[in-house]
Amino acid sequence: MSTAAPEGIVARRLSFVDRYLAVWILVAMAAGLGLGRLVPGLGDALAKVTVTGVSLPIALGLLVMMYPVLAKVRYDRLDTVTRDRRLLLPSLLLNWIVGPALMFALAWLFLPDLPAYRTGLIIVGLARCIAMVVIWNDLACGHREAAAVLVALNSVFQVIAFSALGWFYLTVLPGLLGLEQTGLDVSVWEIARSVLVFLGIPLAAGYLTRRIGEKTRGRTWYETRLIPRIGPFALYGLLFTIVVLFALQGDAITSEPLDVARIALPLLAYFAVMWAGSMALGRAVGLDYARATTLAFTAAGNNFELAVAVAIATFGATSGQALAGVVGPLIEVPVLIGLVHVALYARRYFTAPAVPELREDPTHA
C-alpha cells in the first residue's frame, strides 16, 4: 500500500480555484468559444500581433502560466534526475518514437479521406510538450525537478528532430506505404525561437527568482512566503490562455462541429493510450508515483503552440491543418485535467513512497 496522503486530505489543502479547476477550465473554454462566435473580428484582432507565429495574448498567457511552476523547481536537485536512466530513457522512447508513430497511425486510421486534418494531427504528434504539461504535472503531485529536466530535454530534441521527423512522417513513410505525401517547410531557427520564447524565458525567470530570493531572504521565506504569493498566477495564466485560444478560433470550431468531432476521436485515443501506457511503463520499470506521473504527462502532452504556429506558417491561418492544431488543446485540456484526477487515484497502486517533500509542501497545488 502506498504511503501517499488520502485524496480527501489533498483536496482540503487546495484553494477554491484549485479545487474546482475542471469547472473553471470548462467555463473558460465556453467563454472563449462564445467570444469568438459572438464578437465579429475578435479572432483577427487577437491574431494581428504574434510571437513566433503565436498570438501575443496567448504568448503572454503561456509565459505567466509557466513562470510560477518553474520558480518552484529546486534546481539544486536536478542532478539526481539527470542520472536516472529509468526515467530519461523511457521518456525519450515515448516522446520521440512511440508518440509520433502513434499519432501518424491514428491520423491515417481515423482520417483517411481528410488529408488537411490528418496532416495537422501528425504535426501535433511531432510537437512534444514544453508548456502546459508543467501545470498538469504539478496538479497531479508529479516530480517538479523531473518535469523540468524532461521538458528541457524535449525542447532540445524538438529543435534537432522536428523538421526531420516532419519530413519522415509526411513524405518518406507515406511514400514507402503507398500513401499520399505532404511537404512541411519549417526551419530549425523557427522551432528554436519558439522553444527559446516559451521555455527559455520562464525557465530563466524561475531560476533567477529562486536564486535571488533564497540568497537574499533564505529558503524558508522563499518557500513559505513568496511561492504562495506567485503560485496562483500559474492557474490564472492557464485560464486566460484558454479563453484567448478558443476566442481566436471560436468561429471555426463552432461552425464545423462534425469536422471537430472527427478530429477529436484520434486525439482522444492518442491521449488515453499515451498516458495510460506511459504510466504502466513507469510502474513496470520501478519508478515511484511522482516520477511515473511526470513520465506519463510529459509523454501524453503536446506543444500545441508550436504545432499551431507551424501549421499556420506552412498552410495558412484558415487551413484545415491549422484547425486540427487548434482542436488539439480543445481536447487535450479537459482530457488531461481528468487524467490528473485519475493519477491521484492511481497513487494507491504504487508501492514506493510518493516523494514526501512534494506531499508535505504546503505550497504544492
Which grid cell sits at 81? 534526475
Exposure class string for 73-105: b at 16+ Cβ within 10 A, else e:
beeeeeeebeebeebbebbeebbbebbbebbbe
Q: Is the separation of the CB atoms in 4 and 348 below 8 Å?
A: yes
Q: What is the pLDDT of residue 365?
A: 40
Residue 160 dihedral angles phi and psi, to the nearest 5°: -75, -45
Q: What is the pLDDT of residue 65?
A: 83
CA 145, 139, 87, 296 torsion-angle sign: negative
Q: What is the pLDDT of residue 89?
A: 94
Residues 188, 59: Cα–Cα separation, whole Å: 20
Helix (H) or strand (E) holding 45: helix 42-47
Q: What is the pLDDT of residue 7?
A: 47
Q: What is the pLDDT of residue 270?
A: 96
Q: What is the pLDDT of residue 21?
A: 72
Q: What is the pLDDT of residue 46?
A: 74
Q: What is the mean pLDDT of each run of 10 residues along the chain (365 residues)?
A: 43 58 81 82 75 77 84 84 91 95 96 92 88 83 90 82 88 91 74 77 90 94 91 85 78 77 94 96 94 95 79 75 82 87 89 46 42
Residues in the chain: 365
Q: Is the separation of the CB atoms in 241 and 65 below 8 Å?
A: yes
Tell me which residue of 9, 30, 34, 62 sits closest to 306, measured CA to CA: 62
